[in-house]
Amino acid sequence: MTFRERLQAWRYNLVPDHLVGEILTKRWTDNAIPFLALVATLGVFGSIIPGFFKLSSLQESTRQLGEFSLVVIGMTVVMLGGGIDLSVGSIFALSCFSAVYVFFILEQSIWLALAAALATGLVFGAINGYLVGYLRLRAFLTTLVTFIFGRALFDILVSTYAADVQLSQASSDVLDFIGDGTFWGLSVSVWLAVILAIVTHIALTRSRPGWHVLAVGGS
């Protein structure tokens, strides 16, 4: 065996890239890699940030995680269907402001404020869906324009009504419970995100419309 062949043999034994390739072809790696990345991220931040794993810190982190998960679940459905939506952040902000405006400025009930938030998301979602689904515009550019418009509108509304919101005396136990309440040690937003994730999973894997979404994205 020549020296070059011996080096290749050592490389094959010490750096088994073929083994890595075989592992990456397994179906379970699709779920294992994001999970391991999450564990590594938690480990790094836990070692860097003092008190990261304290109960109060974990409750605050999970509360924010639950809020963002509501947006991520919707974005997941869009991406599974083969699309992309860049406007989720601005639409989420406008929906939240709609609830704030109805409750603190108009001083209506919290249920009407929540309905206003859902209606805002529905309107912008319908606009994006019509432009992309029926007019066949490019999803990337369409949602980019929606993002810019929504963000600009949100900034204008916040600068206009921020002082009025701070001076408002409106309060609601329901709003406090949704925002800061906990159940079995986890915030309400986390439970809502878990319920929505389960419902979305069932809808995608156990219903005909869900199969159509997955089929379109897979093609």
Note whether 112 and 19 are same-domain residues: no
* Residues 155 and 201 both lie in one domain: yes
pLDDT at 11 over 80: no
Domain with 60 in it = 54-218
Shared domain check, 153 and 72: yes
Is the domain of 107 the same as that of 29? no
Q: pLDDT tens digit string along 71-110?
A: 888 888 888 888 888 888 899 899 989 998 988 888 888 8
Record the pTM: 0.72
Q: Is the pLDDT confidence value at 52 over 90? A: no
Residue that terminates a domain, selected from 53, 78, 93: 53
If one compares 148 and 68, the residue with the highest pLDDT of the two is 148
SS3 content of the chain, % helix, strand, coil (to 5): 80, 0, 20
Residues pairing with 183 in the sheet? 186
22 confidence band (pLDDT: 50, 70, 90): low
**pLDDT score of 144:** 92
202 & 177 share domain: yes
Residue 109 sits in the same domain as residue 184: yes
Same structural domain for residues 128 and 206? yes
In angstroms, what CA-CA distances link 137 with 54, 133, 140?
48, 8, 9
Q: Are strands 182-183 and 186-187 parallel, antiparallel or unpaired?
A: antiparallel
Question: Which of 12-16, 141-145, 163-167, 179-183 has the least mean pLDDT?
Answer: 12-16
> Measuring CA to CA, which residue among 76, 72, 69, 116 is closest to residue 94?
116
Residue 17: what pLDDT? 57
Residues 59 and 38 in one domain: no
Identify whether residues 29 and 100 lie together within a single domain: no
Same-domain check for residues 170 and 191 = yes
Tell me, yes or no, whether 123 and 210 share the same domain.
yes
Q: What is the mean pLDDT of the chain?
A: 81
Give me the number of domains the chain comprises: 2
C-alpha to C-alpha distances, 19 to 12, 13, 182, nearest whole angstrom: 10, 10, 46
Q: What is the pLDDT of residues 174-195, one digit of tens each?
A: 777 777 777 777 788 888 888 9
Q: Pick the residue with more confidence: 163 or 24?
A: 163
- Cα–Cα distance, 159 to 196 (Å, whole number): 33
**Taking Cα atoms as reference points, which of 95, 90, 190 lies closest to residue 144?**
90
Tokens of 121: 């998301």
**77/34 same-domain check:** no
**Secondary structure (3-state) at 84:** coil
Per the model's pLDDT, the better-predicted residue between 2 and 159 turns out to be 159
Structure tokens at 160: 């206009």
pLDDT confidence band for 3 (50 / 70 / 90):
low
Contacts 24+ apart (CB under 8 A), 161-169: 161/101, 161/105, 164/104, 164/105, 165/100, 165/104, 165/105, 168/104, 168/105, 168/107
- The reported pLDDT for the residue numbered 149 is 92
